[in-house]
Amino acid sequence: MNSTHGEELTVGIKETDGTSPVLLSFIWFGMFLLAIAVSLAGQTMLSYQPYALSEFNPHSMISVIGTIQYILYAIVRPALARAANIWGQLEAFSLSIAAILLGFAIDAASQNIGGLAAGQILYTIGQVGIQFLQQLLVADITTLENRSILGSLILSPTIFTSWIAAPIVSTMAPTRWRWGYGMWAIIFPIISLPLLFSLWRQKKYTRILESKDTHRKSESISALWSQLDVAGLVILTASLTFVLLPMTLSTSIFRSWSSPRKIAMITVGGCCFIAFLIYELYVPTRPLILLKLAKNRTIAAGCILQFVLYLSFYIWAPYFYSFIVIVNNLSSKAATNITAAQTVAIAVIGLLAAFLVRLTTPCKWVIMLGMVSKLVGAGLMLRYSNTTASTIQILFGQLVSGAGTGMISIIAQTAVQAVTPRQDVASVTTLYEVCGAIGGAVGNAISGIVWTSLLLSRLRANLPATAQSAAVEIQNSFLVASSYLPGSSERIAIDKSYTEVMHVLLIVALAVLSVPFFAMFSMENIKLKEIDMEQE
């Protein structure tokens, strides 16, 4: 396939092109080992967060931290992709691993909400960096025909780590969550050594390090500034922060729109986002995000799908763990297993879908089947989000929804990469993942607006007169909410309030999922094997 941009191959591609099969095997081993650690750490930390926030009181801040995390997801991906292109994969992975280690340590030592948030920010930078760089590395060292399978394999550790996470959480929650964070600060340096050593050997083997170092010394600060597109990164950060955080931090929908300060911030953010689009299209010689790629209908459709997938999921997901612990009276172990079920389904069905695509099944039809599964799963979750639902019914909704995501996410990413020149694969992967990150940030913001504005009003409407004074405390701590005995008048009112708010979130998520069907029909009917043969 001919280049559309005429850029030379990136440092990452040059490094992998010169790597021996034996060294590539060691890199795969290191990546898989690190993927296991990232998966297990992520699943346990997701369950610790409600306990940590409840100890500091603002349980409703879950969506605020989630919004910050996904703003970072959108920013870190293009920044690390550019760093990997300029300096190499070893340096980019090293930065990500250092950030995640600091995040674990700060979370473990946190004594207030500020410390916990700082740790979560660093953890997010490291986590998203590692996972995104793994996808870029997979793209560099695989053919299109095998890319979906090997990309799914990197996600496959969730199949077994999900069941390991639950016993760990039940041991650490609710009072030893700091140890839950801190243990990873000890484990991660050991786990990351095989990959870092393999990447170091790769650089030495291909002699990229010496040639790049010579070139880098001659570069000015202004040249590096231009290559990293720092201006674009700053404008994107400002736009997402000013638009999403004011809405999430609001205590009610009415106040969010009536406060002049919030209106001003959202307006500035909107202007910054428009400025970012114009700037990226016309100003930098090497844009942070190559927006021109979205002129291709398959790439545009893939990005819309990724945005909607993350948006719909994070509208309801931030408070789902708390919801099933309270409303369905589940233990931390059972709740962790249920919340992990969707990621297990994504990994298993994603791997099966990747094999289907490899056997000449067009990507488009697998993605369409995935969207139908997502809609059915969302409907099942809405149907079974109540006090009478059994664990099996709740689990079934999660599995069906996860199966849909598994058929869409990796397959759509591979389809987007298939219509892109090799030297632009990192850029188009960045665009695709940034769309998902922005969707996640918007979803968290919507979740926060609905939860913080509706839960308190529903508690005040449903709680008996003797418990009215505890409404704010119940909203701020799900540990306080769970302390009321099941069947008591207070607990019945709490369960009803949680259910009413979760129904609103799920209805919004279901409505959002119906939007991208038009995008799927505009995708090309791609067969990966045929494209691989053309490129040879």
Q: What is the sign of the dihedral through the CA atoms of 320, 321, 322 and 325?
A: positive
Q: Which alpha helices (H) appear in 173-249, and where do they start and end? A: 177-206, 208-217, 221-228, 230-249
Nearest CA to 423 out of 34, 99, 6 is that of 6
CA dist., res. 245 & res. 154, Å (int): 32
Residue with tokens 């299209």: 281
CA dist., res. 295 & res. 275, Å (int): 19
As a 3-state breakdown, the chain gives helix, strand, coil percent values, each rounded to 5, of 85, 0, 15
Radius of gyration of the chain (CA): 23
Question: Please, are residues 147 and 95 in contact by the beta-carbon 8 Å criterion?
Answer: no
CA dist., res. 238 & res. 269, Å (int): 6
| Coil, strand or helix at 390 | coil
Contacts of 59 (CB under 8 A, 6+ apart): 50, 53, 322, 475, 476, 477, 478
Give me the tens of pLDDT residue by residue for the chain, a chain 536 residues long. Answer: 334 444 455 555 555 555 677 888 888 899 889 999 998 888 888 778 777 877 776 656 677 777 887 888 788 878 887 777 777 788 888 999 999 999 999 988 888 878 888 888 888 888 888 888 887 777 777 776 677 777 778 878 888 887 788 788 888 877 788 888 889 999 999 999 999 998 888 777 665 545 554 444 445 566 667 777 888 889 988 998 888 877 776 554 445 556 677 778 888 989 999 999 999 888 887 787 888 888 888 999 999 999 999 999 999 998 898 899 999 998 888 888 898 888 889 989 988 888 888 776 678 888 999 999 999 999 999 999 999 999 999 999 999 999 999 999 888 888 888 888 877 887 888 889 889 988 988 898 899 888 888 998 999 999 999 889 888 888 888 788 888 999 999 999 999 999 999 999 999 999 999 888 777 888 887 766 666 555 55
Q: Is 291 left (phi over 0), alpha (psi -120 to 50) or beta?
A: alpha
CA dist., res. 390 & res. 348, Å (int): 24
